[in-house]
Amino acid sequence: MISVNNAPRQLLRLLHGIMAGASSAEHRLAEVVRLVASNMIAEVCSVYFMRGGEILELFATEGLKKSAVHKTRLRVGEGLVGHIAATAMPLNLSNAQKHPKFVYRAETGEEVYHSLLGVPILRFGKVVGVLVIQNKTRRNYMQEEKESLQTVAMVLAEIIGSGDLFDPQEQREATLERAATSRFEGVVFAEGMAEGVAVFHEPKIEVIKHLTDNVSLEKQRLNSALKSLQDQIREMMSAEDVRHQREHKEILDVYMLFARDKGWKSKIEAIINTGMTAEAAVERVQLNNRARMQKMSDPYLRERLSDLDDLANRLNRHLMGLVGTAASDNLPDKVILVAHNMGPADLLDYDRNKLCGVILQEGSQTAHVSIVARALGIPMIGQAEEALLAVAEGERVIINGIEGVVYLSPSSEILYGYRQTIKSRNMLLAEYDALRDQPAVTLDGVAIDLQVNAGLSIDMEGLKRSGASGVGLFRTEFQFMVSASLPRVGPQAAFYREILDAAEGKPVVFRTLDIGGDKPVSFLKRDDEANPALGWRAIRIAFDRPALLRYQVRALLDAAAGQELNIMFPMITDVNEFKMAREILDKEISRQKKRFRQPLKTAKDNIQENIQENMPTNIRVGTMLEVPALVWQLDNLLPLLDFISIGSNDLLQFFFACDRENPKLAGRYDPVSPSALTMLKSIVDKCRHYNVPVTLCGEIGAKPVTALALLAIGFTRLSITPAAVGPVKMMIRSLNLAMARDYMQTLLSRSDHSLTALLTAFARDHDIKI
């Protein structure tokens, strides 16, 4: 018999011998329960594993009737074993039969046993089984005994991972009977529905080796990994996009405190001393932290659990020497990407033939990664922290990007319902498709110009598919963001020419380079900024690095030879900035004309023909209105423009002083508020006065109810995602615009936080399809 104080190390040594044996998994399992019962002074030791359908099946026992093996089955939540599985928490009872969850199973012969200690068997943070010991006498098991049993449970998880007992995929395909742990809600960042398998952008770690004979080596590995982890955090803290974000830096300060915490390190070393590997010790300590923190009543402290999970995962990655993301891996055919957060360049790294959907722990609807996802037609759900804590690598996942719901390991019923929803959605999409060649005209005869936003060559398929009249905003920066060096004029021109050719004569409005802020490029070093969204970005960079704008304009002029060129400048703050940008454009136009002034023959007519063949037939110049200061300069600005486009994403974040990248502020301020709509209406009215076409380019126009609000304040041109064209056109064709504008006049003087509910009710009462 082993004393309690020496039990962990000696028990692990004996377990190591069993697990290293060549016998079958069933035989090893029987040996483990016999060993545990003998060395923990228990009369019963039993192991239950989760099977398909979330059924806990008795796989091995010492002390209960052997005939009950593979016959005794409990649902999750049923009996004490099911309760342990449902809560993922240990259970220590001196009189188990008095517990309200106790269920008697005659085939086991357990009626004579009173005390019970049970722990969950966890893999990837999810319950895959339950390990139980029992005694006839009423005893309170000590903390050391619980920890020993948890250690054994970690080792038993290896058997599941090996697949020797049964296919572990069977557990991933369990049903959704525990709705609270299988159905998770988030915020829709990009609409759509998808089914696939979970792949972590930075994959979770599966600890395969739990036992070691070389404790000193494991401690050395731990020290080395902790140093690497601390170095990584320092590097993250010095990154360009963190130094100026106080909240991000504070989070990393906490990470550094955890990484340097001597208490954390000593707990890990204590587990290593029992004979466990460094990776297994890290995992074990984190399981203990999770159990303790989940009991805390303070929500702030409970929220720190995800920080500790992430830190433990990072430490184990350093221990295993794993670096990089999943983009470079051999991906399965249908991928649901899972990430804490990510940028647009990260998303573009993935094979879009395999990427079906994305789940983010954080993020916002107006972040650029969300915009890219919408442009690519990739369903994305964000702010889904609980889903990220529960999902396992390779698990089957459904994303309902209409309702903002994530399903893990869906049952056949859920799959059937999902596929029925897809069928219904496809019918609705067919209705939208039937409208593709129909005009976007209201019931009272007002024509609305629907265009699409784009930024990639693949987006041009959306132009054809949606039946939009053109591209109201082509973001040119993505070509620069994925390039290690500044793209040369030739490749730029070839890319823009490809876009114009794909448009097949429909207008394309190119926005010049809008980098900086949350869109860094590798070839341009930026200084530290307190607030990059309001700092050195877009046209401000172009003025300080004029070659960037000159080369891009040169490429656009080359690409648009023989056709119309529409070009606009981003982030213009005052009239003088537009004049400066226009001067750069005019110089490049003059340069282009001089290039082709050499005659093909001696006749002067041929000189003019050569210029005409190699220049755009018409050049229309406009600007983005994204800075509120420009709203009060329109009388001086509009006479200089051919058109103006409102970048509502930036304009409204500056208007509300609300960082659109901050998940804590997502949804706090509604663009369909009287104040925001009144400002937008003043712009529309001023543009009408000067007869300057105005287009709204932004996410506010992409939903039928918010598009209704924009039309009601005077907009007749919207540039939205291709997927939004069908729903918005359907709304337009069911709308009496004069009636909507009359109703809006009664709303703008209100003080409501949002007018969305009132407009939704108006649409319902007037059969407007939203």
User: Which mean pLDDT values do the consecutive 10-residue runs of the chain (770 residues) have?
Assistant: 48 72 82 90 93 85 92 91 86 90 88 90 81 92 87 83 67 40 80 89 74 90 90 69 46 68 85 88 81 49 56 83 69 89 72 90 75 82 83 88 86 75 77 89 96 82 88 86 73 92 94 75 65 75 86 94 94 94 93 71 51 82 95 96 93 84 70 93 97 93 94 96 90 96 94 91 92
- pLDDT for position 245: 45
- pLDDT for position 457: 74
Question: Is 503 in contact with 537 (CB distance < 8 Å)?
Answer: no
**Percent helix, strand, coil in the chain (nearest 5)?**
50, 15, 35
DSSP of 469-534: S-EEEEE-THHHHT-SSPPPHHHHHHHHHHHHHHHTTS-EEEEPP--BTTB--TTS-----S-GGG
- pLDDT for position 122: 83
Question: Is 644 in contact with 680 (CB distance < 8 Å)?
Answer: no
CB atoms within 10 A of CB 596: 18
Question: Is 347 in contact with 358 (CB distance < 8 Å)?
Answer: yes
Query: Which is nearest to 174 in space by CA: 409, 395, 390, 406?
Result: 409
Distance CA 372, CA 352 (A): 12
CB atoms within 10 A of CB 372: 24
Give the tokens for residue 129. Answer: 């089984």
Distance CA 687, CA 247 (A): 40
Q: In sequence order, which residues have a C-beta less than 8 Å from that of residue 746 and are 6 or more positions away?
A: none
Distance CA 671, CA 45 (A): 61
Distance CA 98, CA 78 (A): 15
Question: Is 355 in contact with 342 (CB distance < 8 Å)?
Answer: no
- pLDDT for position 408: 87
- pLDDT for position 212: 85
Amino acid at 527: D
Q: What are the start-end ranges of the H helices in 108-185?
A: 143-162, 169-172, 179-182
The 355-360 sheet, strands edge to edge = 183-185, 405-408, 396-400, 193-200, 335-339, 355-360, 380-382, 187-190
- pLDDT for position 300: 37
Give the tokens for residue 717. Answer: 């041109």
pTM over 0.75: no
